[in-house]
Structure 1
Amino acid sequence: MAGIGGFARDESGFTHGRAATEEVWLPLAREALSRVAGAPHAVVTQADFAEEIQARSGIRANGALSKWLGHFLERMAREGRANGDPPLPALVVADDNGKVGPAYDAVLLALGLAPADTGRERERLAAEHRIECYRWAGAPTPAGGWAPRQSLRSGRERSPRRTSNTRSVAAARASAPPEPAATCPTCFMQLPATGVCDYCA
């Protein structure tokens, strides 16, 4: 029903509770993360993941991302485990450092595992879980085989800065030796700009 409050709101202005919203989001999230898992070592940022499931469903959470994403990933892990899926939430990483962060402890509990003792241990477990996802999705095996990576960025690459490129090109030009001057094939004197030797003409 329309009104104030609620966990989320659709495009027509109707409000929805958390459970009902997550029911709509779950298949979209599984589809999105299955697609991500199809590429070796691919991940998706929390913001991009959240935007995709909200945009595709037409239902947007009223609260900040930090207020609901962790709970949703925990539920996704719990239901995925029941359905025989790998831990797909491991593919969702922070925008700034490419890590799953403390919220992944709830995912570990949903998977029937103990919370990590340290941040390093948490990221190690998430890295191993990502490999499960890649294999499950049939991602091509990287050269040298699968090796856990504990900090990853999304597929978007940053372009190199123009200033550094311009500087490197200018430096290369400055250090290059000058081209030899043209000489007369008869007297071997340097030719003027006309290309005709003043001595032999």
Structure 2
Amino acid sequence: MTDDVSQQRWVGTNEASSAWADAAREVLVEVAGHYPGLITYADLAEQVQVRTGLRTRSPFRSWIGGVLATVVARVRADGLPPLTSLVVNRTDGEAQTEEAVAHARLTCYRRYADDIPAEVIAAADAEARAKEVQAQEAARARSVRPSRPRTPRAPRERAQPTPEAAPKICPTCFVQLPASGICDECG
């Protein structure tokens, strides 16, 4: 918006957040316009402050996440690719990138960049087709389970309750005998 230092003003992060989000989106669309474009958090923070003319003394690490969260929400609402995937900590020697992030970045480049090498597009398309085939095969395997042949089971044998033994009775006094078998009455 302005590069003139005289038109810049110092503000709090909450006051400038919405304007910074608009500027961040513009910057990220420009970055996505050149394959393989990336931008650091620090560079993005500086560019949004320069473009809006709104500066803060707060370190960028304390507010850039909130600005990017706003960008994420707006981009999703507009059905655009995930532009915030282009923001990195460092641009030198980035060792490995998660597959999901790489896919998100390629989606951005496909939308905005004209200079994506044809072999990159072909490789990405081939990988996407392979994953689709793999997913279809996995779905088929889940839906068509080989049935095991049923073997007839022998009927379960139920344990027959054992009938209680009839109590022993004293032949003399006709009283039930204790476990000892000796009558307490007659002895």
Could you state the TM-score of these two structures normalised by the residue count of structure 1?
0.50
Select which of 76, 98, 106 maps to 2:71. 76
What residue is the counterpart of 1:196 in the other structure? none
Task: For residues 35-87 of structure 1, give each alpha carbon's deviation from its aligned partner in whole angstroms, at most 9, with x where no partner exists.
Answer: 11111111111111111110111112332121111221122111110011211
Distance 1:140 1:12, change over 3 A: closer
What residue is the counterpart of 2:80 in the other structure? 85
How many pairs does the alignment contain? 116
Specify which structure has the higher proportion of helix. 2
Question: 2:119 aligns to what SS in structure 1?
Answer: coil
What residue is the counterpart of 1:123 in the other structure? 98
Q: How many angstroms apart in 2 are the aligned matches of 1:47 and 1:98?
A: 17
Q: Stretches of 4+ moved more than 2 A in 1?
A: 10-13, 95-99, 138-141, 145-148
Structure 2 runs not aligned, ≥5 long: 1-6, 125-187
* More off after superposition, 87-96 vs 139-148: 139-148
What residue is the counterpart of 1:163 in the other structure? none
Question: 2:80 aligns to what SS in structure 1?
Answer: coil
Task: For residues 74-131 of structure 1, give each alpha carbon's deviation from its aligned partner in whole angstroms, at most 9, with x where no partner exists.
Answer: 22111110011211011111126566xxxxxxxxxxxxxxxxxxxx7x7322111111
What residue is the counterpart of 2:8 in the other structure? 11
Kept in 1, the 8 Å contact 2:32–2:112? The answer is yes
Q: How many angstroms apart in 2 are the aligned matches of 1:72 and 1:44?
A: 15
Distance 1:68 1:98, change over 3 A: farther
What residue is the counterpart of 2:135 in the other structure? none
What residue is the counterpart of 1:185 in the other structure? none
Q: How many angstroms apart in 1 are the aligned matches of 2:107 and 2:25?
A: 15
Structure 1 runs not aligned, ≥5 long: 1-9, 100-119, 149-201
The root-mean-square deviation of aligned C-alpha atoms, in Å, is 2.4
What residue is the counterpart of 2:39 in the other structure? 44
Identity level (%): 34
Distance 1:98 1:126, change over 3 A: farther
Could you state the TM-score of these two structures normalised by the residue count of structure 2?
0.54
What residue is the counterpart of 1:140 in the other structure? 115
Larger radius of gyration: 2
1:129 alignment partner AA: A
